């Protein structure tokens, strides 16, 4: 009797987590549309809003499908999914196929829309790693199957993304994948040295890249480079200061109109700070924090390794990207072109974020029906 009540209470807590995930996703997405609408005085803002609404409709459809799809079916096809993502990353690098914007060749044109394969590679990477580790759980402590093969999978994905070049997404994929390996049980005696070497190699690449090293030096002296390489970051920080606690009012901000480049994408968070103030920006930070903590705590009770790793990787991709974006625009991290999930303009990232959260909801939903899950295979 007591066990039944505890189980029922546990199911109710899982329902609340799912409701919160859905609430955060829809609320932040609506906020992003409102901020695009407030930018209506900016040239081309109405066209951006229309495109974002189209992407939102597609994202809702894909996210709903991910929330109700058969995860075992996805597991059996994880290899094909990852291979498709790798092919798309290769196509991005081919002249005439890949679309270059601001010196980076990260997109493939599909009529009026542009797709960013590196975003969809996040899904392929987390699915293939979850499927692989769950199928080779007995060999997880071995060097070859427990470390070398998954490292090659991760390296191939991050390497192709680096060639675009996209240092931020490559770092994000590597960080999430390394965390998934740790959660799966990969031996730290192999994982830690390779992570250290990867960080050193990444730092060397940044050092010998004039654009990236300039961003780092500008980050170290923002005020001194306010009229040069740190102009965007400086204007973003000014936006937070102008907004104060209450903000200047929706649509009344001056930064996105006159001073702040790419205000609707990577630097939309300072625009929110200027127009809506500290109260709203703090609420956004807390939303992502509670999202991660509530989901991660709930996932500790997942009975199967595959679902656990799948949902863990998915929620890490969403929340870690948010942390990096907010760290960049507040001057806590070097400038990097990475959008704020749900809020920033960008169709590929919006769709991938909804799919990742759909997978999280799928796992949480299955936990509320324990009879539908098989015991974890060890």
- Any idea where the domains of the chain sit in the sequence? 1-68+231-304+328-369, 78-208
In angstroms, rounded to a whole number, what is the distance separating the alpha carbons of residues 244 and 78? 47
What is the pLDDT at residue 375? 40
Predicted pLDDT of residue 267: 81
pTM of the predicted protein model: 0.87
pLDDT at res. 45? 64
- Cβ atoms of 344 and 48 within 8 Å: the answer is no
Using alpha carbons, select from 11, 8, 5, 3 the residue that is nearest to residue 365.
Answer: 11
Tokens of 229: 């390489």
CB contact at 8 A, 164 and 93: yes
Q: In what order do the strands lie in the sheet with 113-115?
A: 98-101, 104-110, 113-115
Per-residue pLDDT of the chain in tens (378 residues, 90 and over written 9): 444 444 455 555 567 888 899 999 999 999 988 887 765 545 556 777 778 888 899 999 999 999 999 999 999 999 999 999 999 899 888 887 777 776 677 778 776 677 888 888 999 999 999 999 998 888 888 888 888 899 999 999 998 998 888 888 888 999 999 999 999 888 888 888 888 888 888 788 877 777 777 777 776 666 666 666 667 777 778 788 888 888 888 777 766 665 666 667 778 888 888 888 889 999 999 999 999 999 988 988 888 899 999 999 999 999 999 999 998 888 778 777 788 899 888 778 899 999 999 999 999 888 765 544 444 443
Residue 371's pLDDT is what? 43
Using alpha carbons, select from 231, 211, 212 the residue that is nearest to residue 221.
231
Name the percent of the chain in helix, strand, coil, to the closest 5.
Answer: 75, 5, 25
pLDDT at residue 138 in the model: 81
């Amino acid at each position: 009797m007591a066990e039944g009540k505890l189980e029922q209470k546990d199911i109710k807590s899982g329902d609340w987590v799912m409701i919160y995930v859905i609430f955060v996703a829809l609320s932040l997405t609506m906020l992003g549309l409102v901020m695009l609408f407030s930018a209506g005085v900016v040239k081309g803002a109405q066209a951006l809003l229309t495109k974002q609404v189209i992407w939102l409709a597609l994202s809702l459809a894909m996210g709903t499908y991910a929330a109700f799809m058969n995860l075992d079916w996805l597991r059996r096809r994880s290899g094909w999914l990852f291979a498709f993502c790798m092919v798309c990353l290769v196509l991005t690098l081919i002249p005439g196929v890949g679309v270059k914007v601001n010196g980076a060749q990260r997109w493939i044109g599909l009529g009026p829309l542009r797709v960013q394969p590196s975003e969809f590679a996040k899904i392929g990477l987390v699915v293939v790693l979850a499927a692989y580790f769950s199928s080779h759980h007995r060999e997880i402590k071995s060097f070859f199957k427990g470390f070398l093969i998954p490292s090659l999978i991760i390296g191939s994905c991050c390497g192709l993304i680096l060639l675009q070049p996209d240092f931020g997404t490559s770092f994000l994929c590597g960080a999430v994948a390394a965390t998934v390996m740790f959660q799966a049980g990969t031996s730290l005696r192999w994982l830690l040295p390779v992570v250290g070497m990867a960080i050193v190699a990444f730092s060397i690449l940044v050092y010998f890249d004039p654009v990236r090293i300039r961003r780092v030096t500008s980050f170290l002296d923002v005020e001194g480079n306010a009229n040069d390489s740190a102009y965007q970051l400086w204007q973003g920080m000014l936006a937070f200061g102008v907004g104060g606690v209450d903000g200047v009012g929706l649509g009344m901000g001056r930064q996105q109109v006159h001073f702040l480049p790419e205000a609707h994408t990577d630097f939309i968070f300072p625009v929110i700070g200027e127009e809506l103030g500290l109260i709203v920006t703090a609420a956004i930070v807390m939303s992502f924090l509670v999202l991660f903590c509530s989901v991660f705590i709930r996932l500790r009770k997942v009975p199967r390794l595959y679902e656990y790793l799948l949902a863990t990787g998915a929620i890490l991709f969403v929340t870690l990207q948010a942390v990096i974006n907010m760290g960049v625009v507040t001057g806590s991290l070097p400038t990097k072109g990475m959008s704020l999930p749900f809020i920033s303009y960008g169709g590929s990232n919006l769709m991938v974020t909804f799919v990742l959260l759909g997978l999280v909801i799928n796992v949480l939903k299955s936990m509320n029906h324990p009879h539908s899950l098989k015991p974890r295979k060890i």
